[in-house]
Structure formats: structure tokens, C-alpha cells
Structure 1
């Protein structure tokens, strides 16, 4: 996901998180924050279109829509959740009019430290 040229001004973080995990385990959390592309072809990107594009990218990699999660957004905001089992990774894609335009958070299941 970090190689996506679609997201401009990318900031990427990767960290370990042991909250909500059993003792001796942790999860990895991967976060990409960025902006919509700006070009003559796409002078203004709509959040729904951006989220759909990123959703498609994950589906091509074998991820499925997380039907247990609510994907209902607010006006000017689109949220999608996709998972892949195994390896037990959940991605949340948020695309919005406000800054940052795009936030993608990937979380693994808890695994031994």
C-alpha cells in the first residue's frame, strides 16, 4: 500500500500495539496518511471515488469486505473495511474532504512477541 502513487504527500508509520491483546502478545499497526492527487485530469477528488479505488487495490490482493463493520460514512467522508484471513489483517480506509484526505490503517491479529 505504501507504494501507491495514488496517494500524495504520504506519511507512513508502523508500530506495535499490545492493547486489547493477551499478555505476551501484540499486534502490528500500519498507518498511511496522505492527500488526494491534484491534476488537470482530477481537479477535485470525491471521497467515495478515492475509497473505491483503494478498496479495489486491496481486493486485487485478496482482501474481502468486512461485513461485520459499518461502512456508513458522513457527507464528504467514505469509510471501508477489508480483511484477509489468514494472515489476519484488517484495513480501514477513510477518505474525506477534510485533511488528511486519506487515512489507511492496517492492523494484524494479536501474535506472540
Structure 2
């Protein structure tokens, strides 16, 4: 949307990062079967550009599993509004920590694994 543009008319990188964090967080919660919070985000690149109205898809993969954490790489792919052309527009790495009911770190592996 127009409110998500930078001063040069491109989609703001911060908006892309937020969408990537939402996608990665969804995966972290599914894999971890519960609450997961971002504790670290790195390696952001923006190799392509999006126009207003383009569709963004975020693809995520777990690349590392720690005792209480998951590292997830996210990639944003923009599809042109009135066509099928796609462009990779963003990439980044997120680390999530899984939390228990008291918001304390908990093991990635459940007792039933």
C-alpha cells in the first residue's frame, strides 16, 4: 500500500522485514508447538524491488535447531500485480526462542519426542 513506501516510491525494507518475521514466526510456532519470539535477526538483503500492489509470498526453512531456539531463513518473493512475473525481493535470517506458559525459554524437543 502507499503507506508502506519509502521516499523513492519503492516498498519500504522495514515492511518487508516485518512480513518475513511474521512468516518465520508462524513456522517457529508450528515447529515448536507454542510461543516463539524473535531474539536475533541478521543477514538481510534486498536483491529486488516491489511496486505498490504487488503480492508478497514468504518462504521459510528451519536451518538450525538449538536447545531452546530455532534458526530460520526467510525469503520474500514478489509477484507482479497484473501478471505472473516473480522477483526475489528480500532474504534474512531469524533466531527464535521457544517460551513456556511463564515466558521462560523451553526445550525445542517435547517430552513425547
TM-score range, shorter chain: under 0.3
Q: When the two structures are superposed, what TM-score results if normalisation uses the length of structure 2?
A: 0.28
Q: When the two structures are superposed, what TM-score results if normalisation uses the length of structure 1?
A: 0.28
